[in-house]
Amino acid sequence: MNCYNKFNPVKMANKTGDVDAAKEYSNWPNVCRMLDQRGFNVWEAEAILLSEWAKLAFVKWNKPTKPTATALANFLDDNNFTPNCSAVNELVMNTFGNEFCLELNSDGIPCRRGNVVVGGASILVPLGTPSSCDPTQELYWSM
């Protein structure tokens, strides 16, 4: 796992805890933690948690208890949904694309457009890129 994918699962659970799916799972923070452990970035994780995927996963749960993070993990595995796969990228674009003016780069990865601090060139920065690795951020140039 690299620094691009890290996010705070507790904050994500608090941010998304009011979605219908959250009420169906036995431990929503564990669901968020599982997405973090699998390497999804904050945008991908939130898109998954807000999507029908989270609902479909608990519908497919065939146990007498409330679904756990394993229910969503199994759903992701059954559909080969992994970080940066085309289905996840499409989900991110459908969830956040218009609101945040996202664009796909030549590899089909959702990006935001930014201007390089020194030189001012416009570039696409993949979502989840930390400020220390993003040439459109002051932190990058101050290191």
For each of the chain's 143 residues, which pLDDT tens digit applies? Answer: 344 457 899 999 999 999 999 999 999 999 999 999 999 999 999 999 999 999 999 889 888 999 999 999 999 999 999 999 999 999 999 999 999 999 999 999 999 999 998 888 999 999 988 888 888 888 787 76
- Does residue 16 sit in the same domain as residue 48? yes
Cα dihedral angle (101, 105, 110, 112), rounded to 10 degrees? -40
- Does residue 53 sit in the same domain as residue 109? no
- Does residue 11 sit in the same domain as residue 64? yes
Instruction: Give the pLDDT of residue 123.
Output: 94
In a domain, 97, yes or no: no
In a domain, 127, yes or no: yes
Model's pTM, two decimal places? 0.88
- Does residue 17 sit in the same domain as residue 76? yes
In a domain, 23, yes or no: yes
Nearest to 109 by CA among 83, 131, 130: 83
- Count of structural domains within the chain: 2
The whole domain housing 22 covers 3-91
In a domain, 107, yes or no: yes
In a domain, 96, yes or no: no
